């Protein structure tokens, strides 16, 4: 478990990136993106949030430098969340397909 | 079974208990309540899950007495609702789920992998206290108005309409969830970081693989039931609307969240039992286990696939037809790793020199009962058939075959298998075999008639039934009284043996695992020196040190105790 | 997590001890993902069903305070990361300084959150306490808006509870750090509390757009 020391410079850079992304997401919410594609606003918001989360996990939490085992645990957590969300939403989405 | 059944294992005469072991290392109530020794914590759990087994058992007895007559014999309809709910809650959350992991898992995992303790001993003790706290809340609910929502807590019944003591029960189960989570976390870390030198992943006993898989479910499933019940509890306390259609909420969503955990929870109960059986079968067949890798991998597969099937509980409660189709198909998939295990156990038995000691009787019983329980599960996973048998006694019979016929048989079998290790003493073998047979007969007489009842259309959770169902119900109640005897017997002779039983010696069966290479009962630090593992698991062929007759030629007489 | 850098009895080596603690923390965080996940699923279904009502209710939240808090929390993640770095390179004074900064930022976040809760309380937007979305709002509007605010309070409340626990852990760390206990060889507690703190930050990174930024056009 050799430790990787991330330089303060990189930390600062990540912080700035997070700030820029925060600004972007606030700005994006004030623009009517739904006009172009239904639900685009929330998609953009979630993509930006995912990018921010990824930056935090990879660099602030050192997952980028961690063992395969640690990375596997992160993937497992996210994957299980994805199972729960996707299968449940699949039920809701497919209800309107019903032919009676 | 012949007269040879009362023979005690050959090594027991002449053995002495070790001078100092984990049971007598320290004395006094404080030394138990503040212990961080995984073995003592296991015994704390043993006492507490046994208590809850009795609580649940009393409710079960009352249910069966009530159903002796078509109009209901004992209680009012309202009380009947409470009886089956409290039976389910006590048995599922406070007996079955912690039983094998928290008792046998706690005791055995460090011993099996050659560690001094689990990775976080204090956390382990904390888990027990959390369990007890949760248990107190639930008992408080039982004592002050009871609980009548069904163990599933479906909303809005639980969150709005029920007049029983739902809030403390929900809080109790919420709290208890953290006990499960911490136990699972502790086990996974322990298995990763605490293995003795030479104990590679593929030398791990299959019981440890099963516990690892179970822990995955603890870690990734339990938090969902915790937050779900918390939301339902908040809804009840503050009149919120998450799951209440009158306020725009969605009761189907509650069911999704509930079953996301509660279907995998079935595997929390059955996987460890499968692990126990995987230990017992090769020991009493005197053969290496057949298909080690497949059994290990199928445990993981069951834990993972088990998370893809939950909505088969909701075929008739409003999910979309297409989702139902998908969940039905996915549910069938679980049969594959389950069957892999059964085939491998059977292959292990093939040409083995089998002896029918008590643990083996439980293991064989487990295979048969699990087979029936598992196959009827396929009936229920089938969309068309489920419309007919949904919410009938067919379902009740099915899950009792899995949970009682499977999980409890595995638990009791495991207790018998490791009792000499836990206490250093041997129980009376004849009585124990008798109890195993009584349990098997009592169990089948109780629950097989319920398959027929359900198929004929008797709904579950009703306090009365049409007169033509009485014969089968009386059979079931009669079976339940035999079953009760089957549980009381081991309670008595196991307790008796702690004081009066013969001294077991380190490896009475004998078996190959690391836990059998240390005195019984083990010292507090488990091993006098850290063991180094340089043998393969279940290698009965290359272990002359076990003192078994060479088992290679099938024509030879069995090692001992065979009929 | 252990009070000192000494070896606990169940372990053979310090490395094994550190490895176990880190693994345990990551597994705990995986649990947390699913714990919050149930709330996120409830949110998703309800937002889908009552899309316009959720947008309308979201606009009553104070975007300035929410945005300010986002910056504060991400800033606290930066100081937390710097505390870990200081421990790794052995700058003992800096460890304490950055831990205190993190704690301060955390307290600012909670303070702002309290102001926001107070506003909601004054507006009768707290579910269960005479909830009323607008004057003369009909029953359905009230019920659906209450769903949004139930989720708002549920999610931010659970998040704030995690912050409070994190603040407690920081106090515990600061005490040890002032005693000069963290060194390049022994800093697992700082690292693990850091992981927890960053995780709580990530939860907020999702909460902010999902609660405050629904169709602000
Ligand atoms: Cu199921």
- State how far residue A19 is from chain B, nearest Cα, in angstroms: 31
- State how far residue B157 is from chain A, nearest Cα, in angstroms: 22
Which residues of B are less than 8 Å from A67 in CB distance?
A: none
pLDDT average, residue stretch C154-171: 97
User: What is the helix (H) or strand (E) element at residue C72, kind and residue range?
Assistant: helix C63-89
Which residues of B are less than 8 Å from C9 in CB distance?
A: 116-117, 525
Question: What chain A residue is nearest to B314 in terms of C-alpha separation?
Answer: A91
Q: Minimal CA–CA distance to B227: which of C127, C126, A84, C70?
A: A84
Which residues of A are less than 8 Å from B308 in CB distance?
A: 83, 87
Contact partners, residue A23, CB within 8 Å, separation at least 6: none
Q: Do A49 and C209 touch (CB under 8 A)?
A: yes
Output b/e per residue, A2-23; b: 16+ Cβ within 10 A.
eeeebeeeebeebbeebbebbe
Domain region containing C167: 29-212
pLDDT tens, residue by residue, C41-51: 999 999 999 99
Q: List phi, psi (to 5°) of B424.
A: 80, 5
Measured in Å, residue A76 CA sits from the centre of ligand 1 at: 22
Averaged confidence pLDDT in chain C: 92
Which residues of B are less than 8 Å from A94 in CB distance?
A: 320-323
Instruction: Check residue B533 and give its pLDDT.
Output: 93
Residue among B193, B227, B231 whose CB faces C16 most closely: B193
Asked whether the predicted pLDDT for residue C91 surpasses 80, the reply is yes
Q: Does C32 touch chain B (CB under 8 A)?
A: yes
- State how far residue A92 is from chain B, nearest Cα, in angstroms: 7
Instruction: Check residue A99 and give its pLDDT.
Output: 61
The answer to whether position C17 is within a domain reads no
Class of residue B359 by CB neighbours under 10 A (exposed 0-12, middle 13-18, buried 19+): buried
Question: How large is the angle between the packed helices B409-423 and B251-285, nearest 10 degrees?
Answer: 50
pTM exceeding the 0.90 threshold for the entire prediction: yes
Q: Do A94 and B320 touch (CB under 8 A)?
A: yes
Q: Minimal CA–CA distance to B96: which of B47, B53, B151, B129?
A: B53
Instruction: Check residue C5 and give its pLDDT.
Output: 61
Instruction: Check residue B1 and give its pLDDT.
Output: 36
pLDDT tens, residue by residue, A7-58: 999 999 999 999 999 999 999 999 888 888 888 999 999 999 999 999 999 9
Enter the tokens of residue B109. Answer: 């995992």
Query: What's CA B489's distance to the chain center, in Å?
Result: 19
Using a CB cutoff of 5 Å, list residues around ligand 1, an ion.
B 263
* End-to-end Cα, chain B, rounded Å: 6
Q: How many domains does chain C have?
A: 1
Q: Does B224 touch chain A (CB under 8 A)?
A: yes
Asked whether the predicted pLDDT for residue C99 surpasses 60, the reply is yes
Q: Do B231 and C49 touch (CB under 8 A)?
A: no
* φ/ψ bin of B248: left (φ > 0), alpha (ψ from -120 to 50), beta (otherwise): left
Query: What's CA B520's distance to the chain center, in Å?
Result: 24
Which residues of A are less than 8 Å from B310 in CB distance?
A: 87
- State how far residue A63 is from chain B, nearest Cα, in angstroms: 18
Identify from A24, A30, A60 which residue to disrupt to test chain C contact, counting C C-beta atoms within 10 A and taking the largest count: A60
Tell me: cis bond preceding B156? Omega within 30 of 0 counts. Answer: yes
Measured in Å, residue B244 CA sits from the centre of ligand 1 at: 24
Q: Do A97 and B322 touch (CB under 8 A)?
A: yes
Domains for chain B: give ranges and CATH numbers: 24-556 (1.20.210.10)
Report the C-alpha gap between B144 and B135 in whole angstroms.
Answer: 14
Instruction: Check residue B563 and give its pLDDT.
Output: 44
Q: What is the pLDDT along chain B (563 residues), one digit of tens a residue?
A: 333 444 444 444 578 889 899 999 999 999 999 999 999 999 999 999 999 999 999 999 999 999 999 999 899 999 999 999 999 999 999 999 999 999 999 999 999 999 999 999 999 999 999 999 999 999 999 999 899 999 999 999 999 999 999 999 999 999 999 999 999 999 999 999 999 999 999 999 999 999 999 999 999 999 999 999 999 999 999 999 999 999 999 999 999 999 999 999 999 999 999 999 999 999 999 999 999 999 999 999 999 999 999 999 999 988 999 999 999 999 999 999 999 999 999 999 999 999 999 999 999 999 999 999 999 999 999 998 999 999 999 999 999 999 999 999 999 999 999 999 999 999 999 999 999 999 999 999 999 999 999 999 999 999 999 999 999 999 999 999 999 999 999 999 999 999 999 999 999 999 999 999 999 999 999 999 999 999 889 988 887 778 775 545 444 444 544 44
Measured in Å, residue B263 CA sits from the centre of ligand 1 at: 4
Q: Do C23 and B193 touch (CB under 8 A)?
A: yes
The answer to whether position C16 is within a domain reads no
Q: Do B253 and A88 touch (CB under 8 A)?
A: yes
Q: Does B323 touch chain C (CB under 8 A)?
A: no
Contact partners, residue B369, CB within 8 Å, separation at least 6: B401, B405, B406, B409, B440, B443, B444
Q: Do A91 and B321 touch (CB under 8 A)?
A: no
Q: Does C28 touch chain B (CB under 8 A)?
A: yes
The answer to whether position C153 is within a domain reads yes
The string of DSSP letters for C87-113 reads HHHT-HHHHHHHHHHHHHHHHHHHHHH
ipTM value for the complex: 0.93
Determine contact, residues B250/B339, Cβ cutoff 8 Å.
no
pLDDT tens, residue by residue, C39-86: 999 999 999 999 999 999 999 999 999 999 999 999 999 999 999 999
Measured in Å, residue B377 CA sits from the centre of ligand 1 at: 8
Q: Does B226 touch chain C (CB under 8 A)?
A: yes
Measured in Å, residue B267 CA sits from the centre of ligand 1 at: 9
Q: Do C213 and A26 touch (CB under 8 A)?
A: yes
The answer to whether position C7 is within a domain reads no
- State how far residue B301 is from chain A, nearest Cα, in angstroms: 14
The answer to whether position C112 is within a domain reads yes
Residue among A32, A53, A70 whose CB faces C202 most closely: A53
How many angstroms separate the Cα of C52 from the Cα of each of A92, B240, B247, C151?
Answer: 18, 20, 17, 16
Q: For chain A, list the contacting chains (3+ Cβ pairs, <8 Å).
A: B, C
- State how far residue C195 is from chain B, nearest Cα, in angstroms: 16
CATH number at residue C40: 1.20.120.80
Place of tokens 């009947």: B80
């Amino acid at each position: 478990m050799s430790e990787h020391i991330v330089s303060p410079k990189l930390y600062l850079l990540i912080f700035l990136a997070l700030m820029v992304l925060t600004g972007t997401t606030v700005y994006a919410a004030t623009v009517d993106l739904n006009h172009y594609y239904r639900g685009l606003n929330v998609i953009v918001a979630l993509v930006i949030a995912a990018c921010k989360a990824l930056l935090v996990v990879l660099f602030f939490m050192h997952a980028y430098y961690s063992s395969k085992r640690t990375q596997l645990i992160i993937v497992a957590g996210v994957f299980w969340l994805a199972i729960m969300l996707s299968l449940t939403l699949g039920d809701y989405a497919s209800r309107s397909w019903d032919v009676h | 079974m012949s007269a040879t059944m009362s023979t005690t294992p050959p090594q027991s005469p002449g053995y002495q208990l070790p001078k100092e072991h984990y049971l007598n290392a320290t004395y006094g109530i404080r030394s138990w309540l503040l212990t961080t020794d995984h073995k003592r914590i296991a015994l704390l759990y043993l006492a507490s899950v046994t208590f809850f087994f009795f609580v649940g058992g009393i409710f079960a007895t009352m249910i069966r007495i009530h159903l002796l007559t078509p109009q209901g014999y004992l209680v009012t309809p309202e009380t009947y609702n409470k009886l089956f709910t409290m039976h389910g809650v006590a048995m599922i959350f406070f007996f079955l789920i912690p039983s094998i992991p928290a008792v046998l898992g706690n005791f055995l995992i460090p011993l099996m992998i050659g560690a001094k303790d689990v990775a976080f001993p204090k956390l382990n003790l904390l888990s027990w206290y959390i369990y007890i706290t949760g248990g107190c809340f639930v008992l408080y609910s039982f004592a002050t108005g009871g609980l009548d929502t069904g163990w599933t807590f479906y909303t809005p019944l639980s969150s709005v309409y029920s007049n029983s003591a739902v809030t403390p029960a929900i809080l109790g189960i919420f709290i208890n969830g953290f006990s499960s989570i911490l136990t699972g976390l502790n086990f996974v870390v322990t298995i990763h970081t605490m293995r003795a030198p030479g104990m590679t992943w593929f030398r791990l006993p299959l019981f440890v693989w099963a516990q690892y898989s179970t822990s995955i479910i603890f870690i990734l499933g339990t938090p969902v039931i915790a937050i779900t019940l918390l939301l339902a509890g908040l809804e009840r306390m503050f009149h919120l609307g998450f799951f209440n259609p009158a306020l725009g909420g969605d009761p189907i969503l509650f069911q999704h969240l509930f079953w996301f955990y509660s279907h995998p929870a079935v595997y929390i109960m059955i996987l460890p039992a499968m692990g126990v059986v995987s230990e017992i079968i090769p020991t009493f067949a005197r053969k290496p286990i057949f298909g080690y890798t497949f059994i290990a991998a199928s445990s993981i597969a069951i834990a993972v696939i088990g998370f893809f099937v939950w909505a088969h509980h909701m075929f008739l409660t409003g999910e979309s037809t297409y989702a139902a189709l998908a969940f039905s198909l996915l549910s069938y998939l679980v049969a594959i790793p389950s069957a892999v295990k059964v085939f491998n156990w059977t292959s292990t038995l093939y040409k083995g020199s089998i002896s029918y000691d008590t643990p083996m009787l439980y293991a064989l019983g487990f295979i048969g009962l699990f087979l029936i329980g598992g196959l009827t599960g396929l009936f229920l996973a089938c969309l068309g058939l489920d419309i007919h048998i949904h919410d009938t006694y067919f379902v009740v019979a099915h899950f009792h075959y899995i949970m009682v016929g499977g999980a409890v048989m595995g638990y009791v079998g495991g207790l018998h298998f490791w009792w000499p290790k836990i206490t250093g003493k041997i129980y009376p073998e004849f009585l124990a075999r008798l109890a195993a047979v009584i349990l098997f007969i009592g169990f089948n007489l109780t629950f097989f008639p319920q398959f027929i009842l359900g198929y004929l259309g008797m709904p579950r959770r009703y306090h009365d039934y049409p007169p033509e169902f009485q014969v089968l119900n009386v059979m079931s109640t009669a079976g339940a009284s035999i079953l009760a005897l089957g549980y009381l017997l081991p309670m008595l002779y196991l307790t008796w043996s702690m004081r009066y039983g013969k001294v077991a010696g380190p490896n009475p069966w004998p078996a190959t695992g690391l836990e059998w290479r240390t005195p019984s009962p083990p010292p507090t630090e488990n091993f006098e020196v850290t063991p180094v593992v340089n043998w393969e698991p279940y290698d009965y062929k290359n272990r002359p040190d076990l003192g078994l007759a060479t088992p290679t030629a099938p024509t030879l007489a069995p090692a001992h105790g065979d009929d | 997590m252990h009070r000192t850098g000494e070896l606990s009895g169940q372990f053979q080596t310090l490395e094994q001890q550190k490895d176990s603690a880190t693994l345990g923390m990551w597994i705990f965080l995986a649990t947390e993902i699913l714990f919050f996940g149930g709330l996120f699923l409830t949110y998703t279904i309800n937002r889908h069903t009552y899309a316009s009502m959720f947008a309308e209710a979201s606009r009553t939240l104070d975007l300035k305070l929410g945005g300010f808090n986002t910056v504060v929390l991400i800033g606290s993640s930066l100081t937390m990361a710097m505390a870990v770095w200081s421990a790794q390179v052995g700058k003992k004074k800096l460890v304490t300084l950055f831990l205190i900064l993190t704690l301060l930022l955390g307290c600012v976040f909670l303070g702002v959150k309290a102001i926001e809760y107070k506003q909601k309380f004054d507006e009768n937007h707290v579910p269960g306490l005479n909830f009323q979305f607008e004057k003369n709002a009909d029953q359905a509007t009230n019920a659906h808006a209450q769903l949004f605010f139930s989720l708002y309070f549920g999610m931010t409340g659970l998040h704030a509870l995690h912050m409070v626990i994190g603040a407690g852990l920081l106090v515990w760390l600061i005490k040890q750090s002032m005693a000069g206990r963290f060194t390049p060889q022994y800093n697992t507690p700082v690292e693990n509390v850091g992981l927890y703190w960053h995780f709580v930050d990530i939860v907020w990174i999702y909460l902010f757009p999902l609660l405050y930024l629904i169709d602000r056009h």
